[in-house]
A and B are shown apart, each in its own frame.
Chain A
Amino acid sequence: SQQGEEDPQALSIQEGENATMNCSYKTSINNLQWYRQNSGRGLVHLILIRSNEREKHSGRLRVTLDTSKKSSSLLITASRAADTASYFCATSFNNDMRFGAGTRLTVKP
């Protein structure tokens, strides 16, 4: 069953702008991960943040985690048309990983 809730459900921005997606969850976690999925294809791992970490960067990606609020955010800076995809947060506890509902990001050229 689904663990997290993401907002917004859909986000449309212009190329060059920043995109922020949020994820909230309900139970204890070992870590939280963000994945990207192009239409109808497999998921690509973007970044993992452990429960004892608060912020992590990878290239144009910045992820924050607030375990007290059970929430995370994914920031994509200087977006490109190729960033158009669905983005999912996923919470893990042992080998059990649960996905949020996802945010559909559209970056217009």
Chain B
Amino acid sequence: DTEVTQTPKHLVMGMTNKKSLKCEQHMGHRAMYWYKQKAKKPPELMFVYSYEKLSINESVPSRFSPECPNSSLLNLHLHALQPEDSALYLCASSLDSEQFFGPGTRLTVL
């Protein structure tokens, strides 16, 4: 298995909802990442997990809460989001420097 999968593909949520984005890889990669990408902009790093421990948190608001239950799974818990949080959320994993990206979750916050 040489891919990163993300679910759901699309998510529409209200500002009071709680939802989670999921990411999975079975390539034995020990680093996993969350990025946020707005339309026509480059991806922006949000969080990095290395060996299941949070190693980088790019001053992301607390309404985004990452979780790494094991070496294959990465979650992003969402609560009380704002409409400006609407974006493509990309997950990636890496063994070395090359990062493998999932297809992303298109999030719309109403």
- Is the contact region of chain A dominated by helix, strand, or loop, or is it mixed? strand
Cβ of B47 to closest chain A Cβ, rounded Å:
11
B88 touches A2 (CB 8 A): no
On whether A42 and B90 interact (CB within 8 A), knowing A88-B42, A95-B50, the answer reads yes
B97 touches A92 (CB 8 A): yes
Give the docked Cα–Cα distance between A97 and B32 (Å).
12
Assess whether B104 is interfacial by the CB under 8 Å rule. yes
On whether A96 and B56 interact (CB within 8 A), knowing A41-B103, A42-B90, A43-B43, the answer reads yes
B42 touches A99 (CB 8 A): yes
Give the docked Cα–Cα distance between A76 and B70 (Å).
39
- Residues from chain B with Cβ under 8 Å of A70 in the complex: none
On whether A95 and B48 interact (CB within 8 A), knowing A33-B98, A40-B88, A41-B104, the answer reads yes
Query: What 1/0 mask marks residues of chain A from 87 to 109 whose CB sits below 8 Å from any chain B CB?
Result: 01000100111111110000000
